Amino acid sequence: MRTTVTIEDSLAVRIEGLRAERHMTFKEAINEILSIGLDAYDGPDRRQEQDRARTIPRDLGGELLPYQASTAEMLALAEGEDHK
């Protein structure tokens, strides 16, 4: 993609230093810097936030009870009538 961007002078000096140090073109330096910056932006903390917000549905099979039971009815069924 070709575009025009205005870069602050202090950043331009840093980019030029990186470019000269690594014998890169200006385009290569900008692409590397953007890649590293975007990787850091989408780093582990951000990915963990996205993972925590995601719920993966699982099929647990058919119904355990043939009807909508109350909590007391489920406890009685699971533990017997002496659950109280």
Q: What is the pLDDT of residue 13?
A: 93
Per-residue pLDDT at 2 exceeds 60: yes
With pLDDT > 90 as the criterion, what percentage of the chain qualifies?
Answer: 31
Query: What is the sign, positive or negative, of the torsion defined by CA atoms of 46, 52, 53, 56?
Result: positive
Name the token pair of 12. 């331009």
Average pLDDT over every residue of 24-52: 80
- Hey, what domains does the chain have and what are their CATH numbers? 1-53 (1.10.1220)
Q: What is the pLDDT of residue 51?
A: 58
Q: What is the pTM of this model?
A: 0.48
- Across the chain, what does the average pLDDT equal? 80
Q: What is the pLDDT of residue 17?
A: 92
